[in-house]
Amino acid sequence: EVVLTQSPGTLSLSPGERATLSCRASQSVTGSYLAWYQQKPGQAPRLLIYGASSRATGIPDRFSGSGSGTDFTLTISRLEPEDFAVYYCQQYVSSPLTFGGGTKVEIK
Amino acid sequence: EVQLVESGGGLVQPGGSLRLSCAASGFTFSSYSMNWVRQAPGKGLEWVSSISGNNNYIYYADSLKGRFTISRDNAKNSLYLQMNSLRAEDTAVYYCASASPSDYWGQGTLVTVSS
């Protein structure tokens, strides 16, 4: 099983600042089959990034993903008020599919 | 417009059973593998099970130990999750979602296992 560890657990930032979220895998995620989701309270997750770096349909370009192998990063270039939420990474290269524990981006 | 609508959640006693349904519309359901993902109150996301579009491939989280069964009826554009021998730790919001990377999600249905 691929274990995904997200850090930090909580990120306290102000609107307009840059957010950098990390997702580290216990073994290589071949083919970069890694996705990032955003979840707001009471809502279903929303796909942001797939294939480690491809933005999903309708996702603003302030969201970017990078990385390969075991180290992946989600960057939000300038935080908008609507970006404060919890973010999860997920690997979908092999079963069991696994999610990271999440990073909460909160308003400082 | 793509829609996934879950139903069937509710309060059930430990050891009981529930069958969740997910009605799909707005896309060619039979062409998509589908997932069930759950989220315990205040916790993160946990993958539960996946099924391919033609039912040929089915996968489960090891933690379920044979208690859950995923199925689908492509003629009815519906996905199902039969849950047996329910435990308190199965309490969660259950989401149906298109195969990972999941760009389609339902709104979720809450399952509460409690006496």
CA–CA separation, A19 and A83 (whole Å): 10
Tell me the nearest-neighbour CA distance from A84 into chain B, angstroms. 16
* DSSP-based three-state secondary structure for A82: helix
Q: Closest to B44 (Cβ–Cβ): which among A47, A50, A101?
A: A101
Give mean pLDDT, residues B14-34.
97
pLDDT surpasses 90 at B100: no
* DSSP-based three-state secondary structure for B110: strand
CA–CA separation, B9 and B38 (whole Å): 12
Q: Which residues contact A42 (CB under 8 A, 6 or more apart)?
A: none
Neighbours of B66 (CB within 10 A): 8
What pLDDT score was predicted for residue B97?
Answer: 97
Hey, are the CB atoms on A35 and B101 less than 8 Å from each other? yes
Interface test with B, best of A38, A97, A98, A103 (most B CBs within 10 A): A97
**Which pair of tokens denotes residue B69?**
């069964």
CA–CA separation, B110 and B108 (whole Å): 7
Q: What residue in A sits closest to B43 (Cα-Cα)?
A: A101
CA–CA separation, A77 and A66 (whole Å): 13
Chain B residues with beta carbon closer than 8 angstroms to that of A44:
95, 97, 105-108
* DSSP-based three-state secondary structure for B60: strand
Per the prediction, chain B carries an average pLDDT of 96
What's the Cα-to-Cα distance from B5 to each of B19, B35, B54, B89, B94, rounded to whole Å? 14, 13, 21, 24, 11
Hey, are the CB atoms on A45 and B35 less than 8 Å from each other? no
Q: Closest to B59 (Cβ–Cβ): which among A39, A95, A98?
A: A95
Hey, are the CB atoms on B44 and A88 less than 8 Å from each other? yes
pLDDT (tens, 9 = 90+) of chain A, 108 residues, equals: 999 999 999 999 999 999 999 999 999 998 889 999 999 999 999 999 999 999 999 999 999 999 999 999 999 999 999 999 999 999 999 889 999 999 999 999
Instruction: Please report where in the chains the tokens 């060619």 appear, as a residue.
Output: B28
What pLDDT score was predicted for residue B77?
Answer: 97
Q: Closest to B103 (Cβ–Cβ): which among A1, A47, A88?
A: A47
CA–CA separation, A75 and A82 (whole Å): 15
**Which pair of tokens denotes residue A73?**
């990063």
What pLDDT score was predicted for residue A8?
Answer: 96
CA angle, residues B107, B109, B16, in degrees to nearest 5: 165
CA–CA separation, A76 and A27 (whole Å): 25
What pLDDT score was predicted for residue A34?
Answer: 97
Q: Which residues contact A51 (CB under 8 A, 6 or more apart)?
A: A32, A33, A34, A35, B101
pLDDT surpasses 90 at B83: yes
**Which pair of tokens denotes residue A41?**
């309270």
Question: Could you tell me if A25 lies within 8 Å of chain B, comparing CB atoms?
Answer: no
pLDDT in tens, B35-81: 999 999 999 999 999 999 999 999 999 989 799 999 999 999 999 99
What pLDDT score was predicted for residue A31?
Answer: 85
CA–CA separation, A83 and B17 (whole Å): 38
Instruction: Please report where in the chains the tokens 């404060």 appear, as a residue.
Output: A84
Hey, are the CB atoms on A95 and B46 less than 8 Å from each other? no
What pLDDT score was predicted for residue B35?
Answer: 96
